[in-house]
Amino acid sequence: MSVSTSHGMRIYKNKMAIDLEARPQNNHYASLVRNLKVAVVSNFTLESGCQLSQVPVAYSTWGALNEDASNVLVVCHALTGSSDIQDWWPSLLGPKKALDPTRFFIICFNLLGSPYGSASPLTLDPLTGDPYGPTFPETTLRDDVKIQKLVLDALGVRQVAAVVGGSMGGQLTLEWPLCTPPGYVKTIIPISTSAYQSAWGISWNESLIRCIQADAQFHGGNYGPVPERQPIQGLGAARMIGMLTYRSCTSFEARFGRRRVDSKISTNQATVSRQSLPSPPASDAGDDLSEAVELKKSTGHTAARPLYTVQSYLHYQADKFLKRFDANCYIHLLRKMDAHDITRDRTDMALLPTQAHPDFSSLAHILGSCTTPALIVSIDSDILFPPEQQDLLATYLPDAQLVKLQSSDGHDGFLLELAATDQMIRSFLQQHNPAAFAAAPSDSTEGAASADVGLDSIFGEVDSHFQ
């Protein structure tokens, strides 16, 4: 039971309050997100037992609730994404698209631990007045579902029509029907994801974390929480490695091959500078030479080894990432991803895994209990979340459709094959929400109509410089 008060405050029986009209804390990274909204939960207990107070939960919305507050689409961002769907899924958001704000109330939350406004290492600790930094407590995807549902409750939401998400967002999508009352989530669309984080995924994440921690400027996580104070070399290297797991050999060969920018410019000249984080190139890969020259000016490095365009691409991605992400937040989210396992603490001791992989009887038991209709999307060239992981989901979920997305772009295919992704999501939503599509569309688009797929993406992969 809850009681609404003035100023967007909702008070619950357990003395917890949610302020729906809070202002974002002063945070460089949160300022990158357009139309950001923040709810503050007065007190929240994490799965670990740690208690947080004055917990910000940042989110973005499009559209409006219908009369029975059941036309809600919850979209879950990937590892380094944000709540600004218009940035990283622009072709999917708008009238007559998969995420149609004239028919649905669309909401995307920033995960706990994200640098984009929710509670994270960047957040000020109410007890000290300083950012949490490396002392920010561990959070889980189940914590995210729990606190996001509190905000949905405060907004008056009665049912969620669908939860949609890819990669880490897909892991969160799988937790939604398992962490909420039966029937609250009507359908789910997990994309390029898994029921548990594999040893392969954990290994890549550990490599990324060690890159960051090896940087002398990391200082155990005690650095200034602004771009110029980050452990730039380690965080940039981690992003480069991560990009390799998100794409495929075929994709890189087709886009770059062995093309060189200029034989007189070397990869050493593209080393990220702590003094100057260069701006991205002005147009496309043909401008890599000018980018490398500017980097040479800022670093002073000279060498004879040639700079290949694929190396320039990786340095560009690192530079772009350094301007928009925090190292402690990155480590926090990677560890949260590693902890993902839908069977954790949900099975009897007799069902716990005894082999190198989770016991499939436990997996079958947990997934079999989830009767929520699901659209499972798999990408044939994905090396990070290979198709057999989605096959497993489709095998054990009682009401699941499996769709194979053909793409040479690897894991990032769902962020790049926009037309195909839009069509499959829209068809599934029409199948399971006929009333929403039969009703006359509302006039509420809340900015989605201005989405422009030609713009570069801050948080995603829509990037004209290297298409």
Q: What is the DSSP string of 375-437?
A: EEEEETT-SSS-HHHHHHHHHHSTTEEEEEEP-SSGGGHHHH-HHHHHHHHHHHHHHH-HHHH
411 part of the active site: yes
Q: Catalytic: which of 382, 409, 422, 463? A: 382
Q: How far apart are CA 340 and CA 190, in angstroms?
A: 14
Which residue bears the tokens 């990408």?
379
Structural contact between residues 243 and 249, judged by C-beta atoms closer than 8 angstroms = no
Q: How far apart are CA 317 and CA 466, in angstroms?
A: 10
Structural contact between residues 430 and 103, judged by C-beta atoms closer than 8 angstroms = no
Which residue bears the tokens 């410019």?
265
47 DSSP 8-state letter:
T
Query: Per-residue pLDDT tens for 315-371?
Result: 999 999 999 999 999 999 999 999 999 999 998 644 444 444 556 889 999 999 999
Nearest alpha-carbon partner for 201 in 294, 336, 75? 336
**For the chain, how big is the Rg over CA atoms in Å?**
22
List of residues 6+ apart from 426 with CB closer than 8 A: 97, 98, 100
Q: How far apart are CA 344 and CA 196, in angstroms?
A: 9
Phi, psi of 362 (to 5 degrees): -65, -45
Structural contact between residues 376 and 402, judged by C-beta atoms closer than 8 angstroms = yes
Ordered by where they begin, the domains of the chain are 18-195+354-438 (3.40.50.1820)
Secondary structure of residue 164 in the 3-state scheme: strand
Q: How far apart are CA 91 and CA 188, in angstroms?
A: 20
91 part of the active site: no
Q: Catalytic: which of 167, 266, 273, 407? A: 167
**How many Å separate Cα 34 from the centre of its chain?**
16
Q: Catalytic: which of 77, 315, 411, 465? A: 411
167 part of the active site: yes
Q: pLDDT tens, position by position, for the chain (467 residues)?
A: 454 444 466 766 567 899 999 988 778 999 999 999 999 999 999 999 999 999 999 999 999 999 999 999 999 999 999 999 999 999 999 999 999 999 999 999 999 999 999 999 999 998 899 999 999 999 999 999 999 999 999 999 999 999 999 999 999 999 999 999 999 999 999 999 999 999 999 999 999 999 999 999 999 999 999 999 999 999 999 999 999 999 999 999 999 999 998 744 444 334 443 333 433 333 333 333 343 334 334 333 333 354 899 999 999 999 999 999 999 999 999 999 999 999 999 986 444 444 445 568 899 999 999 999 999 999 999 999 999 999 999 999 999 999 999 999 999 999 999 999 999 999 999 999 999 998 888 876 554 544 444 457 888 765 544 44
pLDDT on residue 352: 46
Quick one: tokens of 423?
Answer: 């069509």
Question: How distant, in Å, are the alpha carbons of 119, 343, 371, 399 from that of 396?
Answer: 34, 13, 10, 9
Secondary structure of residue 181 in the 3-state scheme: coil
Q: pTM for the complete prediction?
A: 0.87
Nearest alpha-carbon partner for 20 in 155, 177, 110, 178? 155
Structural contact between residues 244 and 318, judged by C-beta atoms closer than 8 angstroms = no
Quick one: tokens of 404?
Answer: 């194979």
pLDDT on residue 298: 38
Q: Residues 153, 122, 336, 422: is their CA dihedral positive or negative?
A: positive
Q: How many CA atoms lie within 13 A of 335 on its CB side?
A: 15
